[in-house]
Structure 1
């Protein structure tokens, strides 16, 4: 009698869905069979808080592909120039990941500048993929808010709200 009970208890685990994290510069998966969430926003050469870690944990059971540009081996000595091989590799990975993403998360951390995140917001403002968190204290909050309003970008006011918004967007994509 123990055997059937064990099978019954294990059945939900067999159907558990987990997310996959792809961190730069790992290749993007060839199959696009699950929603892809790009975690853009403040990194500041590794000096900004690792908010991506919390988002990855929150999405762990949502069966998504998480595209994380924050790489553990980043070397601040790499010149931010096109002829610097690792810098080019990072930028090209991010551009490809952004294009392949179904949801682009941008978090503008107070006290950071995040010029690349501003660039990414501008590139994708009209695409309908963005969810933005820009709390008070971000040096260009006004620009982000005005641009967000102009282009109908979903904006939230806290990290917990950001997680809820991303989960809601992923669920909507899965229902299609």
Structure 2
């Protein structure tokens, strides 16, 4: 689903002057710390109601449940955990909201007045509010300040699962926040996948 339509024409990035040199944040990243298992091969058969939504298009929420992939991106430095999560869960009737969009212009200013930056942030905030479940993955090779901020916003919501490797620079803080707010916490990606599946089913997902 790639309609790529914008809610507000005034916010359309094509009307904003940008410098050349966009970064491909979908490029393959070497998993030097061994944080991910092998990519699923063969891929699970995709469910008819599976939706993998990327900004700027608005999710259609065609599946029975919805999941936001909140976690490390860091301008493409983080391992491709989002792509692997989506591939692993594609046999379920769910909508996945993935903020890791293909190319990103490093010259975009992190200002509320910047149209492209605002579009990205608003897309994420809206999806975070609407989804049934939010899973966090903290890449141990990143700093991930925005991910930590988002965890702070949603830790008490009752719809969060966290995966944080003990090698992450603020792993202790993350672990204690999860303990405080009774957030399910794992240290391995494989366990995050299992926890997400179990929670979706527990919350009423019909996998048929």
- TM more than 0.5: yes
Aligned residues of 2:68 and 2:128 also touching (Cα < 8 A) = yes
Give ranges in structure 2 of 5+ residues lacking alignment: 1-44
Aligned to 1:159: 189
Which residue of structure 2 aligns with residue 130 of structure 1? 160
Deviations 1:81-131 (A, max 9, x none): 111111110000000010011110110110211111111101111111111
Q: Report deviation, 1:50.
A: 1.0
Normalised to the residue count of structure 1, the TM-score between the two structures is 0.86
Provide the secondary structure at the position in 1 that maps to 2:104: coil
- Counterpart of 1:67 (choices 83, 94, 97) is 97
| 5+ residue gaps, structure 1 | 1-12
> Runs ≥4 in structure 1, deviation > 4 angstroms?
none
Q: Which has the higher helix share?
A: 1
Aligned to 2:53: 22
Cα root mean square deviation, aligned: 1.7
CA contact (8 A) 2:64 2:205 kept: no
- For 1:35, the equivalent position in structure 2 comes to 65
Q: What does residue 31 of structure 2 align with? A: none
Q: Which structure would you say has the larger Rg?
A: 1
Aligned residue pairs: how many? Answer: 161
Kindly indicate whether the alpha-carbon contact (under 8 Å) linking 2:49 and 2:62 is maintained by their aligned counterparts in 1.
Answer: no
CA distance in structure 1 between the partners assigned to 2:119 and 2:49 by the alignment = 28
CA contact (8 A) 1:48 1:109 kept: yes
